[in-house]
Amino acid sequence: MNFEFKNFELTNNIVICTHVNPDGDAIGSSLALKHYLERKGKQATVIVPNVFPDFLRWLPGAENVLVQTNQTHKEQIKAAIDAADFIIVCDLNQPNRLAGLEETVMASQAPRILIDHHLNPDTNFCQTIVSHPEMCAAAEVICHMLNEWGELDSISFEEATCLYCAMMCDTGAFSFNSNRPIIYEYISHLLARGIDKDQIYRNVFWTASEGRLRLQGYLLYVNMKVLHDRNATIITLTNEERRRFKVKNGDTEGIVNIPLQMLGTRLSIFINEDTEHPGTMKLSLRSVGDFPCDQMASRFFGGGGHKNASGGKLQCTMEEALEKVKAAIGSYADMLKV
């Protein structure tokens, strides 16, 4: 284990930051680290580039997360980074995934450590790299570290809750990327801390608003295009539709996975107009089996990610994005055949 534990022991003010559009693993892992470090007598602040979904707000410590795009948090974020003597970068593999936080984080003189599970990490932006692409979540990397230190059995209920939630979110409730037996060994330690995994599941997946459910119906019934000869689907969502359905933050989370429930579908792409930057189309790609979403995202959409879950961006109209996505799918026609 190459984590410079001694460095951390000598520090007092720690900043934990994670990727733009933070998901369950990003927030859960960051908060687990915060609780752990606070238990060790450190000051730890979680900072995120933009707002995170409402279905993660119940997580212990979520109320103290500082959000860069929130005007009232800006000063506190600057102060926390200025005061930091150690920065943990969690659940991302390139500094540009820090979006609006990248400049301040990179300008800090504090040593940085990366804790991540994405493929091909940039090895130049943190002094210490703990990268495990074979692991299901950044939270699994943290469980692995705690286990190596013999601390997995002494973690708190809050730490265990955050770690479980993070792994559950990055594996679709253990329905993909979750075959390694060790994951369940870690989970048994987390359960022994008294966590309620059924409640955690309900908190994340069964808290939809009426708008979300109706939006889901609309997107599947009206907007989903099924490219039968390609075993692929495309769903689009514009800001105009978002307003019409009163879509709230996080309401679109997971919708990209739904078309994969259809027998034979190998690739699902969701084109989502960026709420903060109209004219930017955010793409989410999901696949089953060997189809390399990360390769498609980096070749066609300036992005990347994991083999079965990746993302990217296009600067164009929705109509143009749709054509570009169809062309990208066309160029993988051979691989998409069953």
Among 25, 158, 253, 294, binds Mn ion (CB under 5 A): 25
Residue 228, SS3 per DSSP: helix
Among 17, 28, 31, 91, binds Mn ion (CB under 5 A): 91
Q: With respect to ligand 5GP, which residue has the nearer C-beta, 168 or 309?
A: 309
Q: With respect to Mn ion, which residue has the nearer C-beta, 138 or 314?
A: 138
What minimum distance in Å lies between the beta carbon of 208 and ligand 5GP?
17
| DSSP secondary structure letter of residue 171 | T
Output the DSSP codes for 38-79. Answer: HHTT-EEEEEESS---GGGTTSTTGGG-EETTSGGGHHHHHH
List residues binding ligand 5GP (CB under 6 A).
21, 23, 94, 118, 284, 303-306, 309-313
Q: With respect to ligand 5GP, which residue has the nearer C-beta, 120 or 331?
A: 120
| DSSP secondary structure letter of residue 235 | E
Asked if residue 116 binds Mn ion (CB under 5 A), the reply is no
Asked if residue 253 binds Mn ion (CB under 5 A), the reply is no
Q: With respect to ligand 5GP, which residue has the nearer C-beta, 193 or 212?
A: 212
Query: Site mask, Mn ion, residues 164-203, x = CB under 5 A?
Result: ------x---------------------------------
- The DSSP bridge pattern shows strands 267-273 and 232-237 to be parallel
Strand locations in the chain, DSSP E? 13-18, 43-48, 66-67, 86-90, 112-116, 128-131, 225-227, 232-237, 267-273, 280-287, 304-305, 309-315
What minimum distance in Å lies between the beta carbon of 162 and ligand 5GP?
18
**Burial bucket for residue 4 (CB in 10 Å: 0-12, 13-18, 19+):** middle
Residue 264, SS3 per DSSP: coil
What minimum distance in Å lies between the beta carbon of 309 and ligand 5GP?
5
> Which positions touch Mn ion (CB under 5 A)?
25, 91, 137-138, 170
